Structure 1
């Protein structure tokens, strides 16, 4: 598939890791590459671009670039409405995203996962499960390495497990996974897509090239998801209460056959049970040994900062869900436990309404909030007659959460806010929470 790029004049939009990886690949397969960014790249990025020996245009997207462009490969986060891309569409210049480039670069098999929530955990779990098979398996996309970097090295017969965003899926034309899952749909990225229908349709592009011989996995009770399944495809469904994979009498079941008790899963939360159900359907066509599946499900504790289990700490079950930067993600986490929850929340003030969180507060025993939004979360809890506390920092919130808890309770960091009032990233916030929990445990043994 590489010959199509030879001597083509390709404009790569966006630097960062994926853009530079795309430029490097295209340069290696004979394309004449120009890399363009709307801002100034970092010193490290500029050095990498210069080392590739390609032309770089930084700080703006001049329309004259299109005069010497046969095709464009764009960073998924760059919206199509910028003038350069609108002019390219008017000139019928093909526009690819990195996932399409990766698909065209390899004969490996793709297993693809998307959804509004849970895709990183499911992608990582599927990767771990597929490691038990006979075929080499790689992970790519929004986690792991850039898709083109992985695809350019993968061989026929290999499997690439890839997490995909709506941004990436807007630009697919030929991408054809052998197994794919659309986990769920809820409003997100509407500033980019304009409205929910456009966002959901972009997610549905995942299935556009799939056939009856492929494995299509969807949440059967999600009506918006089901609308995106092409009529000619027979989907495999999952759901906590019903589907080809569901829970019966406390057991994870696949086509009615018991796999593992829910209480024996290392992953916590009802939403993660559904991620497990989806993962089992995705890997089913690959004949993974049952003993490997059982071992992974009993030991895989999740992805860092995404309802990540920190295990038993002083008799409490503690979870780091720092990735929950909005109400929808926090609701999913709060709804996933049967035990009493001490909810640690707060962060950047964005003015979001908090009322949508009320239905998820049924198991919340106490709220410990911090940061810019601490007072608003305290008011929310008090209005629902839940003991609630507002502090300035996580350093104060973690000890208070333990003080408000009892053995067998859940302590859950699920902020429902971005981290930028006190941290550069949600990862930094989550890592600080983990350190504070371990320090408290050490001091109180």
Structure 2
């Protein structure tokens, strides 16, 4: 697998965890590697790069780097619009993301999950389900180790479960998973892709090499998803109401077989039931014992930062849904509670239309908005005659949320925005929220 890179001149664009992992693999495979970033990496990253003994260019993207470059492996978050990549495309230099590199590095099979919402929950659930089978299973990508690290260690016959973003899927060519799902599609990352169709088509790249011998899992009631299924493919379908996997008379069913009553699932909410349905179809080709499936479904309660319960805090039910970085995810969380909600929202301004959230605000008693989008969320709340407040930071929002709530209420952080105006990641945002809640609880006992 490594022989194809021997002597190849490869430009790794972007450092961080995945970039350094890609550069490390390629260097050990005998490639002539240069790593290039548009900023100055943190000291620890620079030390790792120096230890490899490869060429590095920081804080600029000089076009001269392309003169001897044969292949580019780029960080998914770097937009194709930068001059270096535009020039590379004009020269027909292949541009891959780490996912393609990982696929070429292993004989293991991939189970891949993408979609606008539910990716992390479904990916983690699939991983837990597959652990009950006979084949070794690994977790890679956005919620595990860098894909190339996992792939370079995985063996033939192993399974790699990977969550994939639209950014990653733009940089694949030969990637061919054995089982793959496109869960749903809604407007997201339009600042990167330009328009919805470009974003949705990037997601649809997941299926470009798949055939009817593979398991292709799609939400049958999402017309935009169905448009991305190649014409010659007969997909396997799911949705709450119909499909190969659906809910019938209160039961989770797969191809008409009753698996478990919905009220016995550890995951709650209609959107999570659909994640369960998709996961069951994704693992179908791998003969997982029924007893293991039932045990996982009764015990798997989700992942951190995804409608994560912080328990009873001063009489309020507090939830960390920091991973809700768009309207659809936040709407699903808001519709999941019957009790009055104090909603904490806001973050990076991307120009999204917030009006689609309005019908989901029926149980919201107060809006506490912060960050770049705070004024627009305040306007949204006021348009529904809901008391709405703006503050600068999440640290300001938490005590105000407690002040606007009372015993029996829900306090829900579900930002409907990316975190990057004030935080490096949604995880960092969620962790700070948890810390702020615990500090407030301690100070007000």
TM-score, with normalisation over the residues of structure 2? 0.91
User: Match of 2:287?
Assistant: 287
- CA shift for structure 1 position 433: 3.1
SS at structure 2 position matched to 1:181:
strand
Q: Which runs of 5+ in 1 are unaligned?
A: none
- Tell me the equivalent position of 1:27: 27
Q: Does 1:416 align with 2:416?
A: yes
| Closer/same/farther in 2, CA of residues 312 and 212 from structure 1, 3 Å limit | farther
Q: How many Å separate the matches in 1 of 2:41 and 2:348? A: 29
Counterparts of 2:282 and 2:197 in 1: how far apart (Å)? Answer: 26
Alignment of 1:31-70 (within 5 A): 31-70=31-70
8 Å contact 2:348–2:420 — kept in the other structure?
no
> Residue 311 of structure 1 contacts residue 318 of structure 1 at CA under 8 Å; is this kept in 2?
yes
Q: Which residue of 1 aligns with 2:150?
A: 150
1:88 corresponding residue in structure 2: 88
C-alpha distance in structure 2 between counterparts of 1:311 and 1:263, whole Å: 20
- Is 1:346 aligned to 2:345, yes or no? yes
Tell me the equivalent position of 1:3: 3
- 1:159 aligns with 159
Q: 2:398 aligns with which of 395, 399, 405?
A: 395
Residue in 1 aligned with 2:305? 305
List aligned pairs for 1:52-131, cutoff 5 A: 52-131=52-131
SS in 1 for 2:283: helix
Change (3 A) 1:349 1:219: closer
Distance 1:175 1:188 in 2: 23
Deviation at 1:255, TM superposition (A): 1.3
Secondary structure of residue in 2 paired with 1:325: coil
CA distance in 1 between partners of 2:354 and 2:9 (Å):
50
Partner of 1:304: helix, strand, or coil? coil
| CA distance in structure 2 between the partners assigned to 1:8 and 1:424 by the alignment | 34
TM-fit CA distance, 1:90? 2.8
Equivalent residues in 2 for 1:329-408 (5 A)?
329-335=329-335, 337=336, 339-348=338-347, 350=349, 353-362=353-362, 364-372=363-371, 377-386=377-386, 393-400=396-403, 402-403=405-406, 405-406=407-408
Q: Secondary structure at the match of 1:305?
A: coil
Q: 1:52 to 1:191 in 2, by over 3 A?
A: same
| Structure 1 stretch displaced more, 284-293 or 211-220 | 284-293
Q: Which runs of 5+ in 2 are unaligned?
A: none
- Give 3-state SS (helix, strand or coil) of 1:48's partner: helix
Range that drifts further, 429-438 or 267-276: 429-438
- Residue matched to 2:205: 205
2:148 and 2:198 map into 1 onto residues whose CA distance is 26
Distance 1:104 1:432 in 2: 38
Q: In 2, distance between residues paired with 1:298 and 1:439?
A: 32
Measured in 2, the distance between the counterparts of 1:312 and 1:276 equals 27
Q: How many residues align?
A: 440
CA contact (8 A) 1:320 1:433 kept: yes
Per-residue deviation, residues 234-253 of structure 1 (Å, max 9, x unmatched): 11111111111111222211
Structure 1 residue 66: Cα displacement? 1.9
Query: Whole-Å Cα distance in 2 between the matches of residues 315 and 293 of structure 1?
Result: 35
Contact kept? 2:368, 2:401, Cα under 8 Å: no
* Cα distance in 1 for residues equivalent to 2:340 and 2:122: 24
Shift, 1:92, TM fit: 2.6
1:382-401 alpha-carbon deviations (Å, 9 max, x no partner): 44244556667233145336
Alpha-carbon distance between aligned partners in 2 of 1:424 and 1:56, rounded to the nearest angstrom: 24
Cα distance change of structure 1 residues 169 and 49 upon mapping to structure 2, 3 Å threshold: same
| Cα distance in 2 for residues equivalent to 1:352 and 1:216 | 30
Deviation at 1:419, TM superposition (A): 4.3
Q: Distance in 1 between matches of 2:70 and 2:429?
A: 43
Distance of aligned partners of 1:417 and 1:62 in 2 relative to their CA distance in 1, 3 Å threshold: closer
Distance 1:239 1:444, change over 3 A: farther
Superposed counterparts of 1:228-247, under 5 Å: 228-247=228-247
**2:111–2:160: 8 Å Cα contact kept in structure 1?**
yes
Q: Is the CA contact 1:122–1:278 (under 8 Å) kept in the aligned structure 2?
A: yes
Q: TM-score, normalised by structure 1?
A: 0.91
Q: Deviations over 1:229-272 (max 9, x none)?
A: 11221111111111111112222111122222222222222211
Query: Separation in 2 of the partners of 1:382 and 1:38?
Result: 41
SS in 2 for 1:152: helix
- Rounded Cα–Cα distance in structure 1 between residues aligned with 2:316 and 2:247: 25
Is the 8 Å Cα contact of residues 139 and 162 (structure 1) preserved in structure 2?
A: yes
Aligned to 1:199, what secondary structure does the other structure show?
Answer: helix
